[in-house]
Chains A and B, each alone.
Chain A
Amino acid sequence: MKTVGRWLPPLLLIVALFGLWQIAASSGFMAERLNLDDFLVPSPAQIFEVMWQDRDLIAENARVTLVEIVAGFMVAVVTGLVAAALLHLSPLLRRTSYPVIVASQTIPIIVIAPVLVVWFGYGIGPKLAIIALICFFPIAVNTLDGLRSVDRDSVKMMRTLYASRWQIFRRVEIPTALPYAFSGAKIAVAVAVIGAVFGEWAGSEKGLGHLMLQDNAQLMTDRLFAAVFVLSAIAISLFALIGLLERRVLRWR
């Protein structure tokens, strides 16, 4: 019952928005206002119809994109957590490399994506690199903030109870940082989806981003929207999955 109560309001909102869209599109109101042909302004019903018709094609491309997202995200989780730990344990490293990490975030991904394709080709490599690059920052910075927010009295208490540096890290600092790491991961997984699309736009043979480009060129607006819906569903599912994992891991909260 509690779960239903939590999910009902957003679900109702989505249904209401789709309803309005359906009315505006199928009545011809939107196309008229935008001064466009009807087929360029598909209604949700038409979009879902195309999604069902082309389900094999969409599923195949979605699988490619999902693999890219999950793999790129995992790379970012591992490197982000390791980087946060190293930066936390070495003040010298933190002072030296923190500005570099921040600077890396100012490189527009849309600029770097085609370069990566030139370097690594049309395969999964450049997509992984792009996704990992944009996911790394929220994970590393959040985790580092978490590690640094540790309660100083708890550390003092541990020091007088024979704790080594490693034991303080493992028993106090890591658990303190975990909720922060999860926040970072949730932000990261949402941007990972965008990263995958950018990566595929820069050069690819498959994937939902690739499909969108093709559909756009062929004025298949309905299937373009179908791909967007599937992409959103992937993002929401991954976000929810991390939320679930968070609740399981952070039982003490």
Chain B
Amino acid sequence: MTTTLSGHAIGHAFDGLTVLQGVEFSVESGQTLGVVGPSGCGKSTLLELVCGLQQLQTGGIEVGGRTDSASRLESCAYMPQTDCLLPWFSAIDNAGLALRNQGRTRSEAREQASRLFEQFGLGGFEHARPKELSGGMRQRVAFLRTLLSGKEVLLLDEPFAALDAITRAELQEWLVPVLAEEGRTVVLVTHDVEEALYMGDRVAVMSPRPGRITEVVESPRESGQKRNHAVTTPAFTSLRERIMDLLTSRDPVSM
């Protein structure tokens, strides 16, 4: 089951400080939208607005045809910047949190989660505590937890920001086919242009605060392409340079 997601004229302010202004975007069902922008441009706020964790001040957001924040919270799963694994639960119980919250028994949740553990390269670590896992494994458990919610829309907030460059590249390469197979609608927020271009089907570029989407580009990545090849094609590198120019340009777009 997939869904379409769109935002229209979204504005948001904290204590009189405008964070977002006139944000417009849309994601086709089953597609991944990468969102890049400078620090403090309101990327994380945008995600929290989309999934209904914060009340919308102006504009509208539609998820699968529904606009109120309660139904958005129902259909969106949010993966915060930090992995947020609960240290008192084992890896598998962390992964199955959404199932437990929905009233499934512990053994039911474990059974369902364990089927994906092997596939996610976590086999044998079901009962490890989060602190016993490497950074990359923790992130995979956190992603598995998000996926097992069964929600149609996944909102990923800089999921790999805390990882070293090698692990990050490995996980990016691992996640692209997983997302393609799952067919979920994904918004991936990142400050890493390469990550957004490689992971996303399209990439939205945000301006500095007050954040708005200044440009949306198609990713030049072809399906099934290895990361090493994908990020070195001339189309990819020139697009990356153009987005970098957009992000570093000193004159913010005035409204």
Contacts and interface: CB of A to CB of B under 8 A. Distances in A.
Real binding pair: yes
Interface of A: 151, 153-154, 156-164, 167, 171-172, 175, 252-253
A157 B79 contact: yes
A16 B48 CA distance: 62
B81 A161 contact: no
Contacts of B206: none
B82 A161 contact: no
Contacts of A151: 82, 84
- Residue from A161, A167, A172, A252 whose CB has the most chain B CB atoms within 10 Å: A161
B183 to A, nearest CB: 19
B145 interface: yes
A164 B84 contact: no
Contact of B86 (A160, A164, A171): A171
Given A153-B80, A171-B97, A252-B129, A160 B51 contact: yes
- Residue from B76, B81, B82 whose CB has the most chain A CB atoms within 10 Å: B82
Contacts of B82: 151, 153
B3 interface: no
Interface string B142-161: 00011001010001000000
A163 B103 CA distance: 10
Contacts of A171: 86, 89, 97, 100-101
B77 interface: yes
10 contacts: A151-B82, A154-B80, A156-B80, A157-B84, A158-B97, A158-B101, A161-B101, A171-B86, A252-B88, A252-B131
Given A154-B80, A160-B78, A161-B146, 16 more contacts: A154-B84, A154-B86, A156-B53, A156-B80, A157-B80, A158-B101, A161-B77, A161-B145, A162-B101, A162-B149, A163-B97, A164-B101, A167-B100, A171-B100, A172-B86, A175-B86
B149 A161 contact: yes
A167 B145 CA distance: 16
A227 B82 CA distance: 54
Contacts of B79: 157
A107 B249 CA distance: 64
Contacts of B33: none
Contacts of A154: 80, 84, 86
B226 to A, nearest CB: 32
A90 B130 CA distance: 32
A75 B98 CA distance: 36
Contacts of A164: 101
Interface string B111-131: 000000000000000000101
A161 B88 contact: no
A94 to B, nearest CB: 23
Contact of A153 (B76, B84, B101, B149): B84
A167 B101 contact: yes
B102 interface: yes
Interface in B201-252: none
A162 B81 CA distance: 19
Contacts of A156: 48, 53, 78, 80
